[in-house]
Copies of this chain bind each other. A is one copy, B any other.
Amino acid sequence: MLSLTNIKIVLIETSHTGNMGSAARAMKTMGLSQLCLVNPIIKPDSQSISLAAGASDIIKNAQIVSSMQEAIADCELVIGTSARSRHLQWPHLEAYESGDKIINEVQQGHKVALVFGRERVGLTNDELQKCHYHVSIPANPDYSSLNLAMSVQVLCYEIRRAMLLRIDHPKQPIEENAYPKDIDLERFYQHLEQCLIKTGFINIHHPGQIMSRLRRLFTRARIEQQELNILRGILTSIDKQQ
């Protein structure tokens, strides 16, 4: 069954009431309902709810959390929006590819987070590195600043388009390997860090960039569940040696 409730739209530090309402409306026109607000600068109060017009239910039911980590904890796939021009080497999706990718995951029962950054500055590099893919909307190089709600509209439109295509032309989801939830990856990173501290590879007083580099590597590679099991097994075996 194809349901869009496993797709979460994550807005980080939204600062304009109107944008929150317009984003909620954009989601609802495309049939999406799960909104998660990370540290909203404006509160989803009565004003933003009234600006959301017929989509106020989405704002009322929004999950509010204090970190991106928390927002994506239960998700197997995390996609972050980013202007094309960033020079970060990272797995990339065009907007028109993202819908199919997301629907394919949803069909396998996975939860997906689609993450939008702040109105002016987007996502930080740190946040982008928590994403398995970056998605960009092709824009006029001379005037590329789609506003937040417009970006939500276009990407939710692509999700709906991919869903309708899947309904019209049913196909089995492409069998991908099982992927761990973000929260399980976090447990692995903690385990890894403790282990490397114990082995002395990481100096707890001067940890340096080691963990963030390892995170980058594993996120980009999108660790499969089975691989995670192996890695955890390795760590446990190291633990036992000591």
Contact = CB atoms under 8 A, between A and B. Distances in A.
Contact-residue bracket for chain A: 20 to 34
Contacts of A30: 139-140
B139 A29 contact: yes
A122 interface: no
Which of A55, A96, A164 has the most chain B CB within a 10 Å cutoff? A96
A160 B146 CA distance: 14
How many copies of this chain?
Answer: 2
Contact of A153 (B25, B55, B144, B154): B154
A28 B30 CA distance: 23
A12 interface: no
Contacts of A29: 139-140, 143-146, 150
A133 interface: no
Interface string A140-172: 100111110110011001001100100000000
Contact of A161 (B55, B95, B150): B95
Given A150-B150, A154-B154, A160-B138, A143 B54 contact: yes
A49 to B, nearest CB: 15
Contacts of A154: 153-154, 157
B28 A140 contact: yes
B28 A157 contact: no
Nearest to A157: B154
Interface string A3-46: 00000000000000000000001101111000000000000000
A64 interface: no
B25 A157 contact: no
Contacts of A149: 150
A122 B4 CA distance: 28
A157 B55 CA distance: 24
A153 B139 CA distance: 11
A73 interface: no
A196 interface: no
9 contacts: A28-B140, A29-B139, A29-B146, A31-B139, A31-B140, A95-B157, A137-B157, A150-B150, A150-B153
Q: What 9 pairs across the A-B complex have the smallest Cβ distances?
A: A31-B140, A28-B143, A150-B153, A29-B146, A29-B139, A154-B157, A138-B160, A138-B164, A29-B140
